[in-house]
């Protein structure tokens, strides 16, 4: 087990190097001058040239990459040309918002997706199976940006039940100690702020959960149908066990390994792919911050954000692999 963890962590090093080089090159291929963007269209050529020299943008590409990678090894992500703050400080302030949104989106996706998949498999060929699979197909097919806008129009404008933007209402006197607002509200016992925070999470979490919910439902159904045909399941039925025991304790546990793989992948995707949802709902997370950084041609910010999300994705995959052994003790990591 420990050897497997060390191997995976060792593979993360060249992965980070490759990702940093790839992102660095791709960002520099995007047309536009960040110095010109920072100073505005009316800035004179001398001011633009001076700022380019200050930022090191007048150096050859390999010199810029060497300097960037050296700073990265020392833990220095540099300053954002968009916010004029340390990139590490920006990430520390915005990443908790993305974590909270991703967690609640995945909570909805896992609870509803697994339940729908189990119902569809147990009632195969029936009305519930048909409705669940139609809903799953719709969830995969509908674009997130369109669904987010429809949710805003329906539940935020025509039926003003839910807030449509932001993380917390401006009128609340809430002073967070950390950037995990829900955790801070719980520690402070501020139930009004906690309720408001959860209320703001509903719409973006619903929009973000649709694709992983659909994928989890379809995978749960397919995996469970395969397991229900095994001999030990027929033996469990023959022993007179209740349907709930056979399905949830015996069948689903053995069918959950491929579902867990999908959950881990979707969780990593949501952490790095919530850009559209965060932009539509003005959610102050890493996704929206990266979107603004790309618009501003903020090289260092984009590179720092992508490296953070890549590291989280690698960590999620490692945790997913380790959970396999908990679900199935026959899995070994000696090789």
Residues 239-250 have pLDDT tens digits of 777 777 778 777
Give the mean pLDDT of the chain: 81
CB 274 within 8 A of CB 287: yes
Geometric angle at alpha carbon 117, from 115 and 123, rounded to 5°: 100
What ranges do the domains of the chain cover?
97-327
Residue in the structure block whose two tokens are 């801070």: 184
Pick the closest to residue 302 from 38, 58, 51, 78 (CA basis).
Answer: 78
Given a cut of 90, whether residue 160 has pLDDT beyond it is no
| 3-state class (DSSP) for residue 79 | strand
pLDDT band at 17 (very low <50, low <70, confident <90, very high): confident
Q: Does residue 190 come out as left (phi exceeding 0), alpha (psi in the -120 to 50 range) or beta?
A: beta
Kindly report, residue by residue over 106-157, the tens digit of the pLDDT: 999 999 999 998 888 888 888 888 888 888 888 888 888 888 899 999 988 8
Count Cβ neighbours within 10 Å for each residue of 169-205 and write b for 16 or more, e otherwise: eeeeebebeebbbbebbeeeebeebbebbeebbbbbb
Q: How far apart are CA 71 and CA 56, in angstroms?
A: 13
Domain 97-327 bears CATH identifier 3.40.630.40 = no
pLDDT digits (tens, 9 = 90+) for 263-311: 888 887 787 657 888 888 988 888 888 888 877 777 778 878 888 887 7
Q: Would you state the structure tokens that stand for residue 24, as one six-digit string?
A: 């660095």
What's the mean pLDDT in 189-218? 90
What DSSP designation does 175 have? -
pLDDT tens for each residue of 75-110: 777 778 777 788 888 888 888 998 899 999 999 999
Contact 16, 8 (CB under 8 A): no
pLDDT (average), residues 163-178: 84
Write down the pLDDT at residue 272: 64
């Amino acid at each position: 087990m420990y050897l497997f963890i060390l191997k995976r962590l060792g593979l993360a090093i060249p992965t980070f190097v490759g990702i940093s080089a790839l992102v660095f090159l791709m960002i520099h291929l995007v047309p536009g001058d960040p110095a010109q963007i920072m100073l505005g269209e009316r800035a004179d050529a001398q001011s633009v040239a001076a700022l380019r020299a200050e930022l090191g943008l007048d150096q050859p590409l390999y010199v810029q990459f060497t300097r960037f990678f050296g700073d990265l090894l020392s833990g220095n992500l540099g300053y954002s040309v968009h916010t004029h703050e340390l990139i590490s400080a920006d990430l520390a302030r915005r990443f908790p918002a993305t974590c909270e949104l991703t967690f609640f989106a995945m909570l909805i996706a896992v609870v509803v997706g697994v339940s729908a998949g189990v119902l569809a498999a147990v009632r195969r060929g029936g009305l519930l199976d048909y409705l669940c699979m139609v809903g799953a197909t719709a969830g995969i097919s509908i674009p997130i940006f369109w669904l987010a806008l429809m949710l805003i129009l329906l539940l935020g404008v025509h039926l003003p039940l839910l807030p449509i933007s932001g993380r917390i209402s401006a009128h609340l006197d809430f002073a967070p100690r950390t950037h995990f607002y829900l955790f801070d509200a719980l520690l402070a016992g501020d139930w009004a702020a906690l309720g408001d925070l959860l209320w703001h999470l509903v719409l973006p979490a619903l929009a973000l959960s649709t694709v992983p919910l659909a994928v989890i439902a379809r995978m749960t159904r397919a995996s469970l149908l395969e397991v229900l045909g095994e001999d030990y399941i027929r033996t469990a039925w023959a022993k007179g066990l209740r349907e709930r025991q056979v399905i949830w304790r015996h069948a689903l546990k053995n069918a959950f390994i491929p579902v867990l793989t999908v959950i881990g992948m979707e969780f990593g995707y949501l952490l790095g792919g919530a850009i559209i949802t965060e932009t539509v709902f003005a959610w102050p997370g890493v996704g929206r911050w990266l979107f603004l950084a790309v618009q501003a041609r903020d090289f260092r910010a984009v590179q720092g954000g992508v490296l953070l999300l890549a590291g989280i994705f690698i960590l999620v995959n490692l945790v997913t692999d380790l959970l396999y052994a908990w679900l199935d003790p026959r899995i070994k990591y000696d090789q």
